[in-house]
Structure 1
Amino acid sequence: MSAPSVTADHQDVLSLLTWKDPVKTGKVFGGVVAGLLIFKTINLFNIFFHLAYIGLLLSAAAEYAGKLVTGQGFVTKYKPAVKSHAKHFNDEFLPLVAEFNLKAEQEYQKIVFAHDIETTLKAAGVSYVLFKVTSWFSLFTLITTAVVLLFTVPAFYVHNKKQIDALVAQYSQIAREKTSEYSKCAQSKASPYVNDLIKKTGPVGNFISSKFPTRTAGSTVGDSRATSFGTDADASIHAKKVEEEISTATSTGATKFPEVPAASLNAYTKKGLLTGSFNSLQ
């Protein structure tokens, strides 16, 4: 039963923000703006507490005077029938508040204790942007701007949906192409330095490079998933590269370990032959 009501509420809010009923939306928008202006120009808290202390003093004086004259307070005797709204509020709204509070606490712990690093970084970015924005504008200005945007952007999008979607798709494609181009350019410029470093470090560099994933054409162009992160094609490419590095290391003097002197090698060989002969005689 709750899902249809949520959907209906969503549709009502959407129709309100997209001005499907201009009279209804105009009343809500005008009321919100008027309330913000009143809140900005008039100190409502001061007026509330001023009326509160006067009303409470009058209530206490009337109750005291009634008890003094008739034995029963005037407020107690003539008070209207009061209907309690606490039970309705507890039954209808407190379960929703408790559920929201639980979810908010879970999300807070995920963000603060970095259960998901990407989400924590996003929250840090949003906090930094809000820090900058709140240092430039007042809270009232931000709230007013948010209200105006809330009642204008959805309607503008609905009336220009095709054009906006086309522009978003076009610029998203351009951004992907530029990102791929810059990635290729950075890789081509850094590749000679990395290869030179690997050659200078000898077998240590070969060992380290073999532990890093090998980028292929499919991993940088388009949406292909044929990278070296677990696919058979990239595993074979990585194996071929390791074999080439091993063959290069054995054929070139710059990437092989220092050779053992010939005299020590001959002595070691003779010792091994004598030990083998002695073991065979036993």
Structure 2
Amino acid sequence: MPWPRPLFHPSCRRAASSLLASAAPPCSDPGTSFLSWRDHQRPHTMEPGGPSWKCCVEDLLYWRDPRRSGAVFAGLLSLLLALTQYSVVSVFSYLALAMLALTITYRIYKAILKSIQKSDSGHPFKAYLDKDISVTQEGAKRITDAALPYVNHTTCSLQRLILVQDLVDSLKLAVCAWLTTYVGAIFNGLTLIILAVICLFSVPVIYEKYQAQIDQYVGLVRKQFDDVMAKVQAKIPGGKRKAE
């Protein structure tokens, strides 16, 4: 009885083998699985200092999960609106009382249920009590390292602007400060924070939807502003920037 014919031609098998070899994960360990290769290709968003928190904030602001974004937005807005009517001490005291009322009631309910059923279910919040929420030295160093460039940039910019290293930039700061006095006369700080929260949860979505139109108008406004600043800079003695 003759041997059965191979299913594929040898040249086809060689081509398939070379294709699989090119798609295989480049690693020196022959025991590396496809799962580890996939994890290697995926961005490490959960590593310390990685962009995981940025992705979470972006998902909140762009309403990727409407339920979560709505809960965060409603909570922040309710807290800020409560602060407009009551003092900070009163608001946080009422929040603490509400949380304690919930946890104590649930704790007593579980204790009664445990005594009736004669079971040893343990503490109802044991899973949360076992979690370590303390800040480690590595975590504190990571936060400090992340904040340090922003702090240095802010202090250096203020030094440059206040000591008039560049006259045009210092004049821009003066104009912004002058306009801010009118804003402060109309709104207080808490109202500005409420408006900022509303803008944070609405502007990114609107910009994502109408990006082309907004970019066009912003470009026109920026061009007009640059033209005006160039004219002002040309008329001010010593206002020209030195060529770098």
- After TM superposition, the score normalised by the length of structure 2 is 0.48
Higher-helix-fraction structure: 1
Bigger radius of gyration among the two: 1
